[in-house]
Structure 1
Amino acid sequence: MARFLVIGGFLAAVFWVFGIVDCIVQPASRHRGVPKGVWIAIVVVFPVIGAVLWFTIGRLRPGSRAADERYLPLDDQPGSGRQRERISDAEQERRIRELEEELARFDERGDTDTPGPRP
């Protein structure tokens, strides 16, 4: 019986550490409900229960509707990253194509940002 308690305690500790690490490495955009720092505190203070809450409530899963939304800052001014504009997948694809075309033009002309001789 004591062996099961030791194994259970070890598995709980591994799950707790995994929850802490997962909460820390996820970008802030993948945290649901409260800010990232609060989720880290919840998982650390309430070892197993906090990790269970993190994986069931706090973490947005890839493929979920909220996780798939794309955001673009309204302007590049420092501190303005909180203001965001939703863009559609089609708009994002259009912008990517424009940037790829611009990069291709730079490659054709041989423009580089690196100092030194050009190849």
Structure 2
Amino acid sequence: MPYLGLIVLVVMIAALIDIVSSDDALVRGLPRWAWLLLVIVLPLVGSVVWFVAGRPVAGFSGRVGRDRPGQASAMGFPEYDHPGRFVPQDPEADAAFLKQVRERAEAQRRQGEIERRRRVERERGQ
């Protein structure tokens, strides 16, 4: 068992490199800083737990990836850009749908504001 310390060190370094290189939004279980702390404090246990329960699911297709940080991948609609959003089959149709949803929401907000103002006017008149 003279190589046990070396094995623990190699596993810990591999886990630390994997944690640092993982996308923070895809890390499971704990925030990335907590995983780093766990692996540093409990090298063998923390590393094994990271590889089993914390590591992002590898090779899962159909998810939106971020090619450039700060770049919205939902074609100009940053509110729809979040991990877990599936990639559209037809990007033009998806963009048109998202634009339609945004316009409908704005129309509903305007209508709600008009109704609220009418209600306030009626209450003042009584």
TM-score range, shorter chain: 0.5 to 0.7
- Runs in 1 of length 4+ with deviation above 6 angstroms? none
Q: 8 Å contact 1:62–1:68 — kept in the other structure? A: no
Based on CA coordinates, which of the two structures has the bigger radius of gyration? 2
RMSD (Å) for aligned C-alpha atoms: 2.9
Say if 1:84 and 1:60 are closer, same or farther in 2 by CA, change over 3 A: closer
Alignment gaps of 5+ in structure 1? 76-82, 99-119
* 2:28 match: 32
* 2:91 match: 94
How many residues align? The count is: 82
Alignment gaps of 5+ in structure 2? 65-72, 96-126
1:1-119 mapped onto 2 (5 Å cutoff): 5-64=1-60, 68-70=62-64, 72=74, 73-74=78-79, 84=82, 87-90=85-88, 94=91
What displacement does 1:6 show? 2.0
TM-score normalized by the length of structure 2: 0.53
TM-score normalized by the length of structure 1: 0.56
